[in-house]
Structure 1
Amino acid sequence: MNQDTIQNIAVADDARELLTFRLGQEEYGLNILNVQEIRGYDAVTKIANSPAFLKGVINMRGVIVPIIDMRIRFNLGEATYNEFTVVIILNIGTRVIGMVVDAVSDVTSLKADQVRPAPDFGTVLDTAYIDGLANVDERMIIVIDIEKLMTAEDMGLVDQAAA
């Protein structure tokens, strides 16, 4: 899927377009306009003293791209990499970041009334990165604000001013 295809899908109608992906048994969605490309998981160059969720970096056509494992970032246990494991390459502000997910599901259109706010869990769970929850064909999709997540202070990957 290239950027032109993604742009055409995103403006097809006034619905919100999400790229949905799986982490374990859960399905997540993010704004497709942040997606540059989807590629298979490949070897990364590890960086010493980096946080556990930062798997390393890749050289993608001359651009050094940090690769984040979302299973580790969301505390969903150790990831196993197989033929379905993919890296979603994202444009966040002026940075390019890759995120490892178990599998990409689909491109999904959501109308505003299909997305419900995330419940307030108080201090037990930080829901600042969750835009809401959507039911689509008997599936629950956790809609994440990928820009808020990647610019979070604990991530340290993108300056908040750049996003």
Structure 2
Amino acid sequence: MAEEQLVTFSLGSEEFGVDIMRVQEIIRIPPITRVPNAPVYVEGVINLRGNVIPVVSLSTRFGMTRAEETELSRIIVVQVQAKVFGIRVDAVTEVLHLDSDSIEPPPPIAVGVDSQFIRGVGKTGERLLILLELDQIMGGD
């Protein structure tokens, strides 16, 4: 049986997952430098060991209310194709193994999140995880 390994995180009351193979690292939130004329969901850029990478606020990108930064807030540094960028999340919850047959296609109407960003919904026990399609996060606009 095939399974996926996911990094799970929260945004508000929702729980999301991304493929661990796309994650380079998870860091605390450093100072973020704003970039003029950037899309509203791009918070700015950070210096990560000499590399300047953009940081995306997933809450803003998904049209959700953004929570205040806390001690648990993190940036998940991901690589999609040749792009490296950070996604700002409220908290990283765990690394999870999920059987492929526990993943269903996205529902026709995804509550609160544009369906182009969702590749599926994972079920683990009583929890539902929204699995993100990272290729779409920086695309589009």
TM over 0.5: yes
Aligned partners of 1:146, 1:118: CA distance in 2, in Å?
A: 14
Q: In the alignment, which of 74, 90, 99 is matched to residue 86 of structure 1?
A: 74
SS in 2 for 1:55: strand
Q: Which has the higher contact order (CA 8 A, sep 6+)?
A: 2
Contact 1:28/1:143 (CA < 8 Å) preserved in 2?
yes
Correspondence 1:68 to 2:88: no
Normalised by the length of structure 2, the TM-score is 0.91
Contact 2:62/2:114 (CA < 8 Å) preserved in 1?
no
Alignment: residue pair count? 140
Aligned partners of 1:43, 1:69: CA distance in 2, in Å?
A: 14
* Two-structure CA RMSD over aligned residues (Å): 1.9
Contact 1:116/1:133 (CA < 8 Å) preserved in 2?
yes
Alignment of 1:58-137 (within 5 A): 58-121=46-109, 126-137=114-125
Aligned partners of 2:38, 2:116: CA distance in 1, in Å?
A: 24
SS in 2 for 1:57: strand
Residue 153 (structure 1) aligns with: 140
Aligned partners of 2:132, 2:41: CA distance in 1, in Å?
A: 17
Give the superposition deviation at 1:78: 2.7
Normalised by the length of structure 1, the TM-score is 0.79
Contact 1:70/1:101 (CA < 8 Å) preserved in 2?
yes
Q: In the alignment, which of 33, 39, 46 is matched to residue 45 of structure 1?
A: 33
Percent identity, aligned pairs only, is 34
Give the superposition deviation at 1:21: 0.5
SS in 1 for 2:92: strand
Aligned partners of 2:114, 2:130: CA distance in 1, in Å?
A: 14
SS in 1 for 2:87: strand
SS in 1 for 2:116: coil
Residue 142 (structure 1) aligns with: 130
Residue 55 (structure 1) aligns with: 43
Give ranges in structure 1 of 5+ residues lacking alignment: 1-12, 155-163
Give the superposition deviation at 1:71: 0.8
Aligned partners of 1:126, 1:21: CA distance in 2, in Å?
A: 18
Would you tell me which structure has more strand in proportion to its own residues?
2
Cα deviation digits, residues 19-73 of structure 1 (max 9, x gap):
1000000000011100000001121111112222111101111111001111111
